[in-house]
Amino acid sequence: MRASHLPAQPVPYGRSEQLARAAVASREALASLYMAHAPQLYRYFWAHTGSASLAEDLVSETFLSAIRTLHTYRAERGSFNAWLFGIARRKLARYVSEVNGPLQVADLPTDALPDDAALHLDERIDLWQAVSELEGCDREVLALKFGAGLTYPEIAQVTGLRPGHVGVLLYRALQRLRARLAGGEGGHA
């Protein structure tokens, strides 16, 4: 991946919660919080929509809502990730229910291609196009894991599932994706 695009970096546990508390009154804390989570939110939305412009709009809407309600966040009730992705998932659900648009992987930015062309554009499109044809639950865990880059415990926090259940769901989703890429109709669940 070219350095000109921002990869999502893992955030140490507890760091976001501290920043969220401070961000109510501190511009610097807000900036740190935003920089830690905006890239992963973008990837999450892109994984679902396949569109850079849509992903950008949804990131914007999510953070605007988050900022307006940041003072209501309580770390003792759950992680900041769970709170933020809760907003993100509602935004996405609303978009899907209102537009019901198909995944537009053709919007994949070509300048985001790896320099060594290890992963060709066609293959990238095929991969996420195949994801878009999976059931909603499969798409969600794949987007949270390989789009947003969340860990299993983080996905469990966001979805409210047990980590073990997340593992099984992800395993099955990858199985079904693999089968679809191989030309099969479904997975092995």
Partner 1 sequence: MRDKAQMLADALDSPGSCGLLPPEVQALAELGRRLRDACPDADPAFIQSLGQSLQEEWARVARPAGRRVARAAAVSIAVAALLLLAALELPPLQVAARAAVGRVISAFRHARVEVAPQATATPAPARDETYPSVEQAEAAAGFPIRVPSYLPDGMALDEVTVSESDGQRSVALHYSGALPGPMMASPLIIQEFRGGEAPAGPRLVFEAGGEGVESLQVAGRPALWVQGHWTRTGRWEQGGPDGLLMLQDGDLLIQVAGRLSREECVHVAASMLP
- Applying CB under 8 A, which residues contact partner 1? 1, 4-8, 23-25, 27, 30-31, 34-35, 38-39, 42-43, 46-47, 52, 55-57, 59-61, 63-65, 67-71, 91, 94-95, 98-99, 101, 108-109, 112, 114, 118-119, 123-124, 127-128, 131, 142, 145-147, 149, 151-152, 163-164, 167-168, 170-171, 174-175, 177-178, 181
- Least Å distance between CB 105 and partner 1? 10
User: Please, which residue, 43 or 89, has the CB nearer to partner 1?
Assistant: 43
User: Please, which residue, 17 or 51, has the CB nearer to partner 1?
Assistant: 51
Report d(CA 14, CA 49) in Å as an integer. 30
- Least Å distance between CB 75 and partner 1? 19
What per-residue string of b and e applies to 78-87 under the rule 16 or more CB within 10 Å gives b? ebbbbbbbbb
User: Please, which residue, 71 or 160, has the CB nearer to partner 1?
Assistant: 71
Contacts of 77 (CB under 8 A, 6+ apart): 83
Cβ(181)–Cβ(86) under 8 Å? no
User: Please, which residue, 38 or 82, has the CB nearer to partner 1?
Assistant: 38
CA angle 143, 146, 149 (to 5 degrees): 100
Q: How far is CA 77 from the centre of its chain?
A: 22
Token digits of residue 9: 């970096």
- Least Å distance between CB 152 and partner 1? 5
User: Please, which residue, 11 or 23, has the CB nearer to partner 1?
Assistant: 23
- Least Å distance between CB 96 and partner 1? 10
Nearest in space to 141 (alpha carbons), one of 104, 106, 189, 182: 189
Report d(CA 177, CA 182) in Å as an integer. 8
- Least Å distance between CB 17 and partner 1? 18
